[in-house]
Amino acid sequence: MPNGAPTKITQGSWTKGGIGESTLRPDGTLKVTGEFAYSSDMWHEDMLWGQILRSTVAHAEIVSIDTSEALATPGVYAVMTYDDLPTEVRTYGLEIQDTPVLAHGKVRHHGEPVAIVAADHPETARRAAAKIKVEYRELPVITDEASATAPDAILIHENRTDHHCGHVPHPNIVHRQPIVRGDVAEARRRADVIVEGEYHFGMQDQAFLGPESGLAVPAEDGGVDLYVATQWLHADLRQIAPVLGLPEDKVRMTLAGVGGAFGGREDLSMQIHACLLALRTGKPVKIVYNRFESFFGHVHRHPAKLYYEHGATKDGKLTHVKCRIVLDGGAYASSSPAVVGNASSLGVGPYVVDDVDIEAIALYTNNPPCGAMRGFGAVQACFAYEAQMDKTAEKLGMDPVEFRRLNAMSQGAVMPTGQVVDSPAPVAELLRRVKARPMPPERQWESSEGADVRQLPGGLSNTTHGEGVVRGVGYAVGIKNVGFSEGFDDYSTAKVRMEVVAGEAVATVHTAMAEVGQGGITVHAQIARTELGIGRVTIHPADTQVGSAGSTSASRQTYVTGGAVRHACELVREQVLEIGRRRFGSYHPAWATAELLLEGGKVVTDGGEVLADLVDVLGDEVVEIEREWRHRPTEPFDLRTGQGNGHVQYSFAAHRAVVEVDTELGLVKVVELACAQDVGKALNPLSVVGQIQGGTTQGLGIAVMEEIVVDPRTAKVRNPSFTDYLIPTILDTPTIPVDVLELADDHAPYGLRGIGEAPTLSSTPAVLAAIRNATGLELNRTPVRPEHLTGMA
């Protein structure tokens, strides 16, 4: 095992730490002190370093590749191109296997991998990669819907054979999903007001803390051990093994320390490349992207154009919604089909509308590939439909919050897909709560001790002292699905072991769940303590030696893998009690008749009578159970009407944004982003608030800072660094008070509701609404830049 490989994390019996308590994270201290081992920290004494050569153009035929000078470089052990791949399987993909391991024949986007190098030093590998000579014959670039769907458009993928081909109107459309319910034409005639809008949503990067990295170690059995930062070990395995020509049991994967993900690690990055080089050289190979490479090495959030029409009666009831959502998927499919499904099915928002006509598509273009990012299609839609709700309220002369509350869905409402919302949907209450909060003081930059420029738009740049600063307030609410949808077999696996170690009953929980910072390992220990009644719980490192846990995405892990852990614990508890009945049942009648519980390391009756110590019950026996657990099934949306019970669960969040805008300089200071969210059951209240505040901050970044800028003429990325791609710092982050509701979903474990994504939806349109309120400008794109506020755009 390499240095820096994952170790078991134990939470001791000194912590109560059951469900509903704010248990501290076992990895928290290590991370804040810098002692935590991330995947980039791993080391093997005889390892090589891998490097990827990426395309310098976005669309071109590859005329020739000359690797001779790179191979002749001292210290280089291997150089590989497409022709050196070991099997006929040379593409991969989450749903559609359209992504080549290394470019073949042509490149389809700026930064596509063309060749890989292994050398004894990272600088040697980089210099050798730079010596590879690639001759390109550039092709016209496809960058938008017009160029992608023109009758004479160049096809991004010439020979498509995937299952979406039959229902898309053009080969450069990855997937199309209509949602049609009721009669929009008739409803339009009933409308007293009609509001239209066109919205533009920029491309964002996940901007996670740790760049892509991993270590591949060749094994004596001809296989490979891969230690990697990822979101989904088993999906990686399914894509990696065929390319290597190995059975899955010879590609052993272990989760290394992950420095954030937010969707950007759901697709493969360096995994196959490291394994190929390790198997070719017979030596361990480590690959660590720098930040520049990271901007090219993973998918981004889909930029979008959204066209909306809302109708309403004069008393404020929505009559209809018609919209068209165009998502740019970039050069390869990634998870674009699922993003289309989310954007379309959630495109109306958390409102009751009987008549809808929605179309969502994702394009193939030569722009950077796009896929999963926190909010997953629902973020783009929420930005547009919430702007429409503000515009419609204004046209009706109504308060924007009351207009939303009048049309808010509740439990029992019917979605545009025909699915009944069968758990609490407290949309009106969330809005009421954020509106009722006291306002933050005005002109906080003024104090008796002098001006605090950090509180002003522009902050420490010291560009204003309050001249031309105007306050604005805005509201928004969003709806997000939880879990994988549309008939996906979404399950998770957990193995739970209970035994006596050093005179103490101990549980071990083993799953393949990727801990990417969301705190899942903390929750799993809490579940085990609650269900097994013991204090000491060990969390086994995540790997592929246990069944799949699915992806750490879609706000699903606490629901699905938490559900699997709970289920396995329940089975272990029953087996432990059965052992106790065999050993002690004849000594006390309660063993046969009472409801028995495990509490504080003892077997007790429901009346609190202690029957035995767990150490005595178990003795030298070990109880270990591994089980899969599934939530209720979903079904695909009809490809013609979009009808179907496509989602597992819905989550809701509302925000009130308070901003101060310097209208002369175009600078924005977000003063407060208050959130109210229903979480079903807060398994760890401290972590719940942290997730909501983190998601809210990411939504702030979308609103006023973050955008990957792609040149429309060349499809090249202009700002692949944190110098030019800005994300919120602590000085940009406002006060984020959180109001947590706990309205149990009876279908979910403990009544919980997935929470991680919903706050990212509503925070962005709330900030935009507040800036509109301050300036009176329409602002139909995100992010908002200074030139949009000063008329210089």
pLDDT of residue 461: 82
Share of the chain above pLDDT 90, in %: 92
pLDDT of residue 10: 40
Flag the least confident range among 286-295, 448-457, 473-482, 541-550: 448-457
Mean local confidence (pLDDT), 653-675 = 96
* 688, pLDDT greater than 80: yes
pLDDT, one tens digit per residue, over 466-497 is 888 999 999 999 999 999 999 999 999 999 99
pTM attached to this predicted model: 0.96
* 95, pLDDT greater than 90: yes
User: What's the start-to-end Cα distance of the chain, in Å?
Assistant: 55
Going by pLDDT thresholds of 50, 70 and 90, the confidence category of residue 12 is: very low
Q: How far is C-alpha 336 from the chain's CA centre?
A: 14
Mean local confidence (pLDDT), 366-380 = 97
How far is residue 260 from each of residues 31, 430, 662, 790, measured CA to CA in Å? 12, 29, 34, 36
pLDDT, one tens digit per residue, over 290-346 is 999 999 999 999 999 999 999 999 999 999 999 999 999 999 999 999 999 999 999
Measured between alpha carbons, how far is 296 from 292 in angstroms, rounded to an integer?
Answer: 7
Which structure tokens are listed for 313? 């009666």
* 1, pLDDT greater than 80: no
* 13, pLDDT greater than 50: no
The answer to whether 9-37+491-630 and 39-139+211-258+265-297 have equal CATH topology is no
Measured between alpha carbons, how far is 173 from 530 in angstroms, rounded to an integer?
Answer: 49
Classify burial at 24, counting beta carbons within 10 Å of its beta carbon; exposed 0-12, middle 13-18, buried 19 or more: middle
Flag the least confident range among 18-32, 448-462, 575-589: 448-462
User: 3-state SS string over 366-425?
Assistant: CCCCECCCCCCCHHHHHHHHHHHHHHHHHHHCCCHHHHHHHHECCCCCECCCCCECCCCC
Flag the least confident range among 315-319, 586-590, 631-635: 586-590
Measured between alpha carbons, how far is 305 from 301 in angstroms, rounded to an integer?
Answer: 13
For 782, the enclosing helix (H) or strand (E) is strand 781-782
3 state DSSP class of 116: strand
* Pick among 3.30.428.10, 3.40.190.10, 3.30.365.10, 1.10.10.10: CATH of 9-37+491-630: 3.30.365.10
Residue with the bigger pLDDT between 458 and 240: it is 240
* 278, pLDDT greater than 80: yes
pLDDT, one tens digit per residue, over 689-713 is 999 999 999 999 999 999 999 999 9
Q: Are 17 and 235 a contacting pair, CB within 8 Å?
A: no
pLDDT of residue 387: 98
Q: What is the mean pLDDT of the chain?
A: 95
Measured between alpha carbons, how far is 263 from 555 in angstroms, rounded to an integer?
Answer: 11
Q: How far is C-alpha 201 from the chain's CA centre?
A: 18
* 193, pLDDT greater than 60: yes
Q: Sketch the domain layout of the chain as residue ranges.
A: 9-37+491-630, 39-139+211-258+265-297, 435-480+647-789
Strands 133-138, 60-66: pairing is antiparallel
* 448, pLDDT greater than 80: no
Fold type of domain 435-480+647-789: Aldehyde Oxidoreductase; domain 4 (3.30.365)
pLDDT of residue 780: 97
Going by pLDDT thresholds of 50, 70 and 90, the confidence category of residue 450 is: low
Q: Quickly count: other Cβ atoms within 10 Å of residue 127's Cβ.
A: 17
Share of the chain above pLDDT 70, in %: 97
Which class is 39-139+211-258+265-297 in CATH? alpha beta
3 state DSSP class of 736: coil
pLDDT of residue 521: 96
pLDDT of residue 171: 97
pLDDT of residue 455: 85
Angle between helices 758-775 and 378-396 in degrees, nearest 10? 40
pLDDT, one tens digit per residue, over 384-420 is 999 999 999 999 999 999 999 999 999 999 999 999 9
pLDDT of residue 622: 98
